[in-house]
Amino acid sequence: MPDNHEIADTSAVGALDAPLPRKTMSINMGPSHPASHGTVRFNIELDGENIVKLDPEIGFLHRGFEKSCENVTWQQCLPYTDRLNYVSALCNNFGFLTAIEKLAGIEIPERAKYIRTIGAEIHRLCDHLTCVGAMGMELGGFAPFLYAVEARELLWDRIAELTGARVTTSFGRIGGVERDLPEGWVQKVEDTLVKVEEFRHEIDELLTHNRIFIDRTRGTGVLSAEDAVDFGFTGPMLRASGVDYDVRKAHPYWVYDRVQFRVPLGTTGDNFDRYYMRMAEMEESISILRQCFAQMQPGPHIVDDWRFVLPPKPQVYSTIEGVIGHFKLIMEGVKIPKGECYSFTESPNGELGWYLVSDGSGRPYKVHCRAPGIQMVGALEHMVKGSLLPDLIPTFDAINMIGGEVEQ
Amino acid sequence: MTDEKKPTAPSEAVPAGSVSGIQQAPTTTPPADAGQRPGGEARPAPAAPPNVAPASPAAQQAKPGVVNATIDGIPVSVPPGTPIIEAAKSVGVDIPFYCYHKGLSIAANCRMCMVEVSNAPPGKLVPACQSPVAEGQKVTTNSPRVLEHHRAVQEFLLLHHPVDCSICDQAGECKLQDYFMEYDHDASRLDMPKWMKNKRKDLSPSITLDQERCIMCTRCVRFMAEVAKEPVLGAFGRGTREVIDVFPGKQMTSNYQGNVVDICPVGALTSRDYRFRARSYFLTATPSVCTGCSRGCNTFLDHFQGVPYRYRPRENMDVNQYWMCDIGRGSYHQLYEERVAKARVGKGDAVAAEAVRVAAEKLKGAGAAVVVSPVLSLEDAMAVMLVAKEGLGAKEIFVSGRADETGDDFLLRGDRNPNRKGVELAAQAFGLAVRGWNDLGKSKAKAVLLAGVDVPAAPEQVAAWLGGLDTVVALAANDGPVAQAAHVVLPLATHAEGEGTFVNFEGRAQRFLPAYPPRGDVKPGWFWATAIGAELGLAYRYASAREVFLEQSRRLAAGALGTFDWDDAPRDRIKGVTPLTGGTVDGRPPGWRQLVPLRTPNTAA
């Protein structure tokens, strides 16, 4: 039942002459709404057109992912991580593997670090394209979305050539990546990046100076730097509020300390800044990719240690050492030393953290995922309270909530 | 284990402060009434048990008969003569080994357990299984030299090992696999063809030897000579051509030969009963008790998806040490062969509740004779006798059970029923006179309640006799002439499907745990007894064997079960790997059921 916020005192003399009691209206938005991406239901209380109260109800994509991990080997968790943020699966794959490697004390080969950086940056592009495209579409402009999806599709083709799958990549192994870059792939990506730059430019032209888009995004969903930090924001949402924190710069991993890139910062912390963070970061990602291609050298793509990595197939089929290594890693899993760790990487929407506990067996004792979106969904009411209902749309768009990772 | 301490004669008294270990084996087992083996030779006592009683070093110095040393920096105090490997185990340091076995003499031929000790000649490693702990000794088990030695031994043992894991029964419980991942984990350096040896040599109708897989630890040779007392195995040849074999013209015939499969650290010796029927890593091992005879050897029952695959002995120095006999080992077949899955009234299947109602109606006031099988657990027996006494007004019970056969002087008993003592205790508790099977024929009863269909006579004869009675109600686990002669059959759970207690011939109560849930309408004996009792108007209602025990065991004579505590059950259940589904629901390749036919499709398939 809606709360009555201001109810006229009808018992008073002449009450009938008093203005009508102003009741708030309770409306329900979602879980599938044409003006939002992300499967979430909002219980909204409106006073007229203004939001009085907003209660996001998540859980429509809950699969018990963390618990499921406890029943499978460490390596078998990888397909589950694909389904966290399914637009940028490689960031999740590699982030999870990096956490396991921290726990096991494995140093992966140089080339694997470059391949991981390349994969993660391509998927960062995909994620940002999806976010800005969907944001434009949900604010009324359909063309940017088509350009964004066209560009994303080109990149996903490259990902499919690398991993065998467009979305659910399950790429990467404990100790490196499953296989080296395909022949001629680098040149194909270079060509694709030129096209992606063109599409990015088109979207930029269509949205960044678009009067309607600016009206809907500028000054809406504003969050101060202090509040953003207090709520636990990370990623573009935090940087839009002017806080200079990017895991890739603050705690460099893989090869981020060897490539040059800038961390764009916003000034006002409104939805336009959040949009523009992503547009700017796409440029940086393209630059990082080109630097990686220029820097990377041939070499092994996975560590040579049979405690963690499956033996090469010829050895498995013809030697007892190989068949034992294969059998033990498949049936019992990679034995990760007893202990616990927290490891984090910069995923497109913010810090993707992994808290892992191992009891020394081949299966995780506990897996916890710190998804970047959950804190932002939690702050949604704070950002839109008192503002108009239409302001909810760009604010929720800018969060880029992914149900798969928010609802573990 | 929760076993009641066996009544100990003075000569068998366990020294204070010492865990019951192998040192006592010659005096505590075989028990006094089992008699000595021919030749009167005591079983070998190769190792003294570790004493891990913590005490300050000063106090230990003062104590006579204690040796102090450090293992990887951890202080340890043990009785003199304790091998380093046992002392290390007592403080949580695992030293790898293949040939060492607590129940056998020391061979020290696998060279896997070599460690560094402070009092060895310079540059020498010593075998931890053979070297007793010395006063003030410093033992190092994880130095680079020791680890390099483990790696080298592991590489050497695998050098000519066949590429067999995929077809080997031992895969998943193989020490070669475990130690390879721990100490070697590197590629083969062999650049020549592997030596070929005999891959399937039948040592007996139940044991097959694969000489290629053998690592020549000689555990089997020592077992056959020292424990089974049938020295027919030997090591033949030298060097790379050395093989295990039986002496010419001989065969393994011992009733204890199955143990060589258990103690074989690799897949060289395999059981022909178990061979190629299951993958050991899928099997869940539930602590259980063998029902083959009244010894009650402690076992693991290995099962997968509700089908038992084998028994393995579980260490209990007071009952069976580390061993069990082949007759007991094969008794798991009864757990799934020819099972009764549905309640029956007359010749047709019936709804369970209806069958219980008919059973109670027929038994009521019929002056039925109650026959209890000593294969039933103590809880089942007590529940049946409760109904016999209070619901049917019985004054006596008849004990059926499997017929006596010849026992031996080691583990196997002549009485092939696991719980005769328990049934007698229960009858005594309820004030019921115990009558033998032969007295049943003399009784004038025209109605019989058979709790368990194990009979000491030819089943066909028994069935013919039962055919002349007015009413026969049977709780039956296995189908056969006796169950088919009954007018009402209630499907009875085996000990693998329920939990409870067996009291062995020496009065030792032992808990067994449920391995897997029963199928169909199968229920434990206490359930059927309580259900019939309820139809007869009794007020007893039980939801578990535990409730039956806690309430009804109060009637037992004081101290009848010693210090037995029902809730203090063995906890060492070992869960198998949950197979990932692929094609079939249990992850096995399609058609595996055709490859390995289970003999009772109605219950086990």
Integer angstrom CA distances of residue B247 from A162, B160, B232, B234, B270: 61, 24, 6, 7, 19
- Answer whether residue B588 shows pLDDT above 60: no
Q: In this complex, do A320 and B577 lie within 8 Å of one another by their Cβ atoms? A: no
Q: In this complex, do B177 and A328 lie within 8 Å of one another by their Cβ atoms? A: yes
Residues 6+ apart with CB under 8 A from A273: A240, A241, A266, A267
Residue A11 pLDDT level (bands cut at 50, 70, 90): low
B409-450 pLDDT per residue, tens: 999 999 999 999 999 999 999 999 999 999 998 888 899 999
- Answer whether residue B22 shows pLDDT above 90: no
Output the pLDDT for position A19.
63
Smallest CA–CA distance, residue A71 to chain B, in Å, is 8
* HSE toward the beta carbon, residue A332, CA cutoff 13 A: 22
Q: Which of A306, A323, A332 sits opposite B165 (nearest CB)?
A: A323
The residue of chain A nearest to residue B159, with distances taken between CA atoms, is: A320
Q: Which of A321, A328, A335 sits opposite B187 (nearest CB)?
A: A321
What is chain A's mean pLDDT, rounded?
91
Nearest to B69 by CA among B46, B101, B93, B103: B93
Identify the residue among B155, B156, B160, B163 best suited for mutation to test binding to A, counting A beta carbons within 10 A and taking the highest: B163
- Answer whether residue B59 shows pLDDT above 70: no
- Answer whether residue A73 shows pLDDT above 80: yes
Q: Which of B164, B185, B580 sits opposite A325 (nearest CB)?
A: B185
Percent of chain B scored above 70 by pLDDT? 85
**CB-CB neighbors (< 8 A) of B188 in chain A:** 315, 319-322
Smallest CA–CA distance, residue B467 to chain A, in Å, is 54
Q: Which of A71, A320, A328 sits opposite B158 (nearest CB)?
A: A320
Q: Which run of H or of E encompasses A358?
A: strand A350-358
**CB-CB neighbors (< 8 A) of B158 in chain A:** 320-321, 324
Q: In this complex, do B181 and A307 lie within 8 Å of one another by their Cβ atoms? A: yes
Check if the beta carbon of residue B279 is closer than 8 Å to that of residue B172.
yes
Instruction: Sort B346 into a burial class: Cβ within 10 Å, 0-12 / 13-18 / 19+.
Output: exposed
Percent of chain B scored above 90 by pLDDT? 73
The angle at the Cα of B442, spanning B441 to B446, to the nearest 5 degrees, equals: 70
Q: Mean pLDDT over residues B73-95, rounded?
A: 95
- Answer whether residue B582 shows pLDDT above 70: no
Task: Give the B-side interface with A, CB within 8 Å.
Answer: 158, 161-166, 171-172, 176-177, 180-181, 184-188, 190, 281, 577-578, 580
- Answer whether residue A96 shows pLDDT above 60: yes
- Interface membership of A366 toward B (CB under 8 Å): no
Nearest to B214 by CA among B233, B190, B186: B233
Output the pLDDT for position B516.
86
Residues 6+ apart with CB under 8 A from A17: none
Q: In this complex, do B577 and A319 lie within 8 Å of one another by their Cβ atoms? A: no
The residue of chain A nearest to residue B579, with distances taken between CA atoms, is: A331
Check if the beta carbon of residue A341 is closer than 8 Å to that of residue A365.
no
Q: In this complex, do A323 and B172 lie within 8 Å of one another by their Cβ atoms? A: no
Residue B10 pLDDT level (bands cut at 50, 70, 90): very low
Q: In this complex, do A324 and B181 lie within 8 Å of one another by their Cβ atoms? A: yes
Smallest CA–CA distance, residue B215 to chain A, in Å, is 14
Output the pLDDT for position A32.
86
Smallest CA–CA distance, residue B168 to chain A, in Å, is 12
**ipTM of this predicted structure:** 0.83
**CB-CB neighbors (< 8 A) of A71 in chain B:** 578
Q: In this complex, do A306 and B185 lie within 8 Å of one another by their Cβ atoms? A: yes
Instruction: Flag the least confident range among B64-73, B355-364, B587-596.
Output: B587-596
Smallest CA–CA distance, residue A85 to chain B, in Å, is 25
The residue of chain B nearest to residue A332, with distances taken between CA atoms, is: B577
Nearest to B274 by CA among B224, B246, B312: B312
For B348-386, letters b (16+ CB in 10 Å) and e give eebebeebbbbbbebbbebebbbbbbbbbbbbbbbbbbb
- Interface membership of A327 toward B (CB under 8 Å): yes
Residue B122 pLDDT level (bands cut at 50, 70, 90): confident
Q: In this complex, do B187 and A315 lie within 8 Å of one another by their Cβ atoms? A: yes
Smallest CA–CA distance, residue B472 to chain A, in Å, is 49
Output the pLDDT for position A9.
57
* Structure-token pair, residue A135: 């944001």
**CB-CB neighbors (< 8 A) of B161 in chain A:** 320
Output the pLDDT for position A18.
59
**CB-CB neighbors (< 8 A) of B187 in chain A:** 306, 311, 315, 319, 321-322
Instruction: Flag the least confident range among A33-42, A144-153, B331-340, B582-591.
Output: B582-591
Q: Which domains does chain A have, with CATH numbers?
A: 65-406 (1.10.645.10)
Q: Mean pLDDT over residues B98-109, rounded?
A: 94
CA dist A269 and A218 (Å) reads: 9
Check if the beta carbon of residue A86 is closer than 8 Å to that of residue A402.
yes
Q: In this complex, do B163 and A319 lie within 8 Å of one another by their Cβ atoms? A: yes
Residues 6+ apart with CB under 8 A from A187: none
* HSE toward the beta carbon, residue B389, CA cutoff 13 A: 17
Q: In this complex, do B187 and A71 lie within 8 Å of one another by their Cβ atoms? A: no
Residue B517 pLDDT level (bands cut at 50, 70, 90): confident
B131-165 pLDDT per residue, tens: 999 999 999 999 999 999 999 999 999 999 999 99
* Structure-token pair, residue B386: 């409760």
Residue B17 pLDDT level (bands cut at 50, 70, 90): very low
The residue of chain B nearest to residue A312, with distances taken between CA atoms, is: B187
Smallest CA–CA distance, residue A168 to chain B, in Å, is 19
Identify the residue among B155, B169, B186, B281 best suited for mutation to test binding to A, counting A beta carbons within 10 A and taking the highest: B186
* Structure-token pair, residue A316: 């498995």
* Structure-token pair, residue B184: 């070697």
Q: In this complex, do B185 and A319 lie within 8 Å of one another by their Cβ atoms? A: no
In angstroms and rounded to an integer, the radius of gyration of the C-alpha atoms of chain B is 27
The residue that leads in pLDDT, B299 or B599, is: B299
- Interface membership of A331 toward B (CB under 8 Å): yes
- Interface membership of A319 toward B (CB under 8 Å): yes
* Structure-token pair, residue B262: 């258990």
- Answer whether residue A94 shows pLDDT above 90: yes
CA dist B264 and B246 (Å) reads: 16
What is chain B's mean pLDDT, rounded?
85
DSSP character at residue A388 = B
The residue that leads in pLDDT, A112 or B38, is: A112
The residue of chain B nearest to residue A317, with distances taken between CA atoms, is: B163
Smallest CA–CA distance, residue B155 to chain A, in Å, is 9
For B65-102, letters b (16+ CB in 10 Å) and e give ebbbbbbbeeebbbbeebbbbbbbbbbebebbbbbbbb
DSSP character at residue B398 = E
CA dist B501 and B505 (Å) reads: 13
Q: In this complex, do A305 and B187 lie within 8 Å of one another by their Cβ atoms? A: no
- Interface membership of A324 toward B (CB under 8 Å): yes
Q: Mean pLDDT over residues B580-584, rounded?
A: 42
Dump the DSSP string for B112-129: TTEEEETTSPTT--EETT
**CB-CB neighbors (< 8 A) of A321 in chain B:** 158, 180, 184, 186-188
Residue A36 pLDDT level (bands cut at 50, 70, 90): confident
Check if the beta carbon of residue B76 is closer than 8 Å to that of residue B91.
yes
Q: In this complex, do A315 and B186 lie within 8 Å of one another by their Cβ atoms? A: no
Q: Which domains does chain B have, with CATH numbers?
A: 18-142 (3.10.20.30), 194-335 (3.30.70.20), 344-555 (3.40.50.740)
CA dist B537 and B391 (Å) reads: 7
Q: In this complex, do A327 and B162 lie within 8 Å of one another by their Cβ atoms? A: no
Check if the beta carbon of residue A334 is closer than 8 Å to that of residue A325.
no
Size of interface A-B (CB pairs under 8 A): 58
The residue of chain A nearest to residue B281, with distances taken between CA atoms, is: A331
Q: Mean pLDDT over residues B518-535, rounded?
A: 92
Helices (H), A105-210: 110-138, 142-163, 185-207
The residue of chain A nearest to residue B174, with distances taken between CA atoms, is: A324
A292-350 pLDDT per residue, tens: 999 999 999 999 999 999 999 999 999 999 999 999 999 889 999 999 999 999 999 99
CA dist A272 and A237 (Å) reads: 11
Helices (H), B479-536: 481-485, 525-535
